[in-house]
Amino acid sequence: MIDGLIAANTILSPNAGYALLFAFGVLWVGLGVWWGRQAKSYDGFAVAGRNVGLALGTATAVATWITSNTTMLAPQFALQLGIWGALTYSTASFGLFAFAPMSGRIRQLMPHGYTAVEFVHRRYGQLGAIPFLIISLFYAMTWLISMAMAGGKLLNVLSGIPYEVGMTVVLGVCVLYTLFGGMYAVIGTDFIQSLIILVGLVVVAIAVLLHVDISDVHSKLQTERPMLLSVMFPAALMAVFNNMLFGFGEIFHSNVWWSRAFAMRDGVGPKAYALGGLLWLPVPIVAGFLGLAAPALGIGISQPDIAGPLVAATLLGTGGALFVFVIVFCSLASSIDSLLAATSDLMVNDIFERAAGKTMPDATKRKLSVLSILILGLIAWSVAWANIGTLATVLFFAGPMVGSCIWPIVGGLYFSRPSPVAAGAAMVAGSSLGLVAYFTIGWFVASLVGATVSGIVFGLITWIVPDSFEFDQLSRQEPGPADGSPTTTEGCVS
């Protein structure tokens, strides 16, 4: 019923939506095949030959972090939580800033590494690796599902394309070009996508400001919905810290960011992530303003997570709808492909290869990567089909889990005293109590509770039962794929 009502009031016609979808689908698949020619080995497919330079490194950080959550959840936060909501999502940039020096440390400690789970396994053993792997896979799937959902919702609200069709095509396109090119295709397309997103957001922001009187928005909110302007809005204040810790947990634990740290040339990671954070910081604030303006402009919002695209498209007409389509489509693709590539690395290196009990040949790992990407795409498609919940409720369900990983990762990277027991107990306790908070209080406190409980447990056990880990164990290179020789890197990616 809702789809029918939206279709009757869309800015673009379904034919225009299908045309745009086809054009961008062909473009990304073509570019994926083109860049994928460089992925001649598993090392190239998984970590782009470990030679990514500053320009592409910064672009892939920006594009991957400008997800549909940035362009669609930031307006939802503003619509529901007001001024603080508009600023809440921008706190996720702190995670990029904090990960900048960590990426250098990761590259130094594990110059031949592939995944975050590999680090946790070497640092903490099975006690840490098992809960961390479960959390990593679960988070990756919730993020992937939320991206697929966002694609279906976007196309439906802008052009009336059925949710199921839009979601299927967006996910399918990303699966295809990631299959062909691996990390080379992901980072190459990210560069173009980041440019399109940033330029498009500037154009949309200027156009909206020309159509909207900020003082009028303020006065209408003050009269009709004063709580949205209150700096003491309790739920909003909790959401600020919850989202900030969620952002830390997302980046610190996710193989999306670790795989890029391994892919970048030595010394590039800290600069790329710091620059990426600076470029990303204003994006959710700009997007959040659209949600804040919606009630003041009298635009009816049936689903809070489509507030941003609907406001921009309504205010700016067909041109605005086209810009919004391009921006959000690029933000979706840049995140879905990253998740598919990074999570397939986890499956190949930390599940299939460990289950085999031996180092697999290069060709076998490449085939398993393709299989893993197909499996991930199929699972995400089957769950997203039901379209249950909003993007926030789906994504933040993993909040307490990723929040519980913050302290084990930081402690494990920089200190020798944290033990496997401390890491495992912190992740289990933080995830468990954080999920209790999610169901009994709300999504806006779950990450905060998870990170706090995890930090207390981690600190106490480390103090009571300290360890003495030798970091040089992490830098020992494992045998190569088939003959025991080290894996070589491929051509430079600037």
pLDDT in tens, 131-165: 999 999 998 888 888 888 888 887 887 788 898 99
Is-contact 44 180, C-beta < 8 A?
no
pLDDT of residue 38 exceeding 50: yes
Q: What is the pLDDT of residue 418?
A: 96
Alpha helices in 110-211 (DSSP H): 116-124, 126-159, 163-211
Closest by CA to 438, choosing from 426, 453, 421, 423, is 453
Q: For 45-59, what is each residue's pLDDT tens digit?
A: 888 888 899 988 998
Q: Which of 206-215, 228-237, 417-426 has the highest mean pLDDT?
A: 417-426
Q: For 399-435, what is each residue's pLDDT tens digit?
A: 899 999 999 999 999 999 999 999 999 999 999 999 9
Confidence of residue 452 (pLDDT cuts 50, 70, 90): very high
87 CB-contact burial (10 Å; exposed 0-12 / middle 13-18 / buried 19+): buried
Percent of the chain beyond pLDDT 90? 32
Q: For 178-197, what is each residue's pLDDT tens digit?
A: 888 888 888 888 888 888 88
Task: Give the C-alpha separation, 23 to 25, whole Å.
Answer: 5
Is-contact 406 246, C-beta < 8 A?
no
Q: What is the pLDDT of residue 455?
A: 96
pLDDT of residue 478 exceeding 60: no
Q: What is the pLDDT of residue 461?
A: 96
Task: Give the C-alpha separation, 489 to 48, whole Å.
Answer: 8
224 CB-contact burial (10 Å; exposed 0-12 / middle 13-18 / buried 19+): exposed
Of residues 367 and 302, more confidence is placed in 367
Contact partners, residue 24, CB within 8 Å, separation at least 6: 173, 326, 329, 330, 333
Handedness of CA 388, 389, 390, 395 (dihedral sign): negative
Q: What is the pLDDT of residue 463?
A: 96
Q: What is the pLDDT of residue 136?
A: 93
Average pLDDT over residues 337-360: 90
pLDDT of residue 298 exceeding 90: no
pLDDT of residue 394 exceeding 80: no
Q: What is the pLDDT of residue 68?
A: 64
pLDDT of residue 490 exceeding 50: no
Global pTM reads 0.83
Average pLDDT over residues 358-387: 90
Q: What is the pLDDT of residue 477?
A: 58
Lowest mean pLDDT across 113-127, 154-168, 341-355: 154-168
Task: Give the C-alpha separation, 334 to 342, whole Å.
Answer: 12
Q: What is the pLDDT of residue 227?
A: 65
At 130, which amino acid appears?
Answer: I
Q: What is the pLDDT of residue 198?
A: 81
pLDDT of residue 242 exceeding 60: yes
Count CB atoms within 10 A of the CB of residue 350.
23
Which of helix, strand or coil describes residue 357? coil
Scanning the structure block, which residue is given the tokens 């990253």?
338
Alpha helices in 298-387 (DSSP H): 307-346, 353-356, 362-384
Confidence of residue 317 (pLDDT cuts 50, 70, 90): confident
Q: For 82-115, what is each residue's pLDDT tens digit?
A: 777 777 778 888 889 999 999 999 999 998 899 9
DSSP secondary structure code for residue 233 in this structure: -
Task: Give the C-alpha separation, 474 to 84, whole Å.
Answer: 42
Q: Which of 25-39, 218-232, 419-433 has the highest mean pLDDT?
A: 419-433
Rounded to the nearest integer, the mean pLDDT of the chain is 82
pLDDT of residue 488 exceeding 60: no
Confidence of residue 486 (pLDDT cuts 50, 70, 90): very low
Please report how many Cα atoms fall inside a 13 Å half-sphere around the Cα of residue 155, on the Cβ side. Answer: 28
Task: Give the C-alpha separation, 422 to 127, whole Å.
Answer: 9
Scanning the structure block, which residue is given the tokens 């070009």?
177
Select 2-387's CATH number: 1.10.167.10, 1.20.1730.10, 1.10.730.10, 1.10.10.10.
1.20.1730.10
Calculate the CA 450 to chain-centre distance: 19
| Per-residue b or e along 365-398, where b marks 16 or more CB atoms closer than 10 Å to that residue's CB | bbebbbebbeebbeebbebbbebeebbbebbbbb
Confidence of residue 261 (pLDDT cuts 50, 70, 90): very high
Task: Give the C-alpha separation, 435 to 293, whole Å.
Answer: 33
Percent of the chain beyond pLDDT 70? 85
Q: For 371-385, what is each residue's pLDDT tens digit?
A: 999 999 999 999 888
Calculate the CA 359 to chain-centre distance: 30
Of residues 43 and 462, more confidence is placed in 462
Task: Give the C-alpha separation, 49 to 51, whole Å.
Answer: 5
Scanning the structure block, which residue is given the tokens 């879905």?
336
Task: Give the C-alpha separation, 474 to 47, whole Å.
Answer: 18
Task: Give the C-alpha separation, 96 to 180, whole Å.
Answer: 28
Q: What is the pLDDT of residue 441?
A: 86
Calculate the CA 335 to chain-centre distance: 6
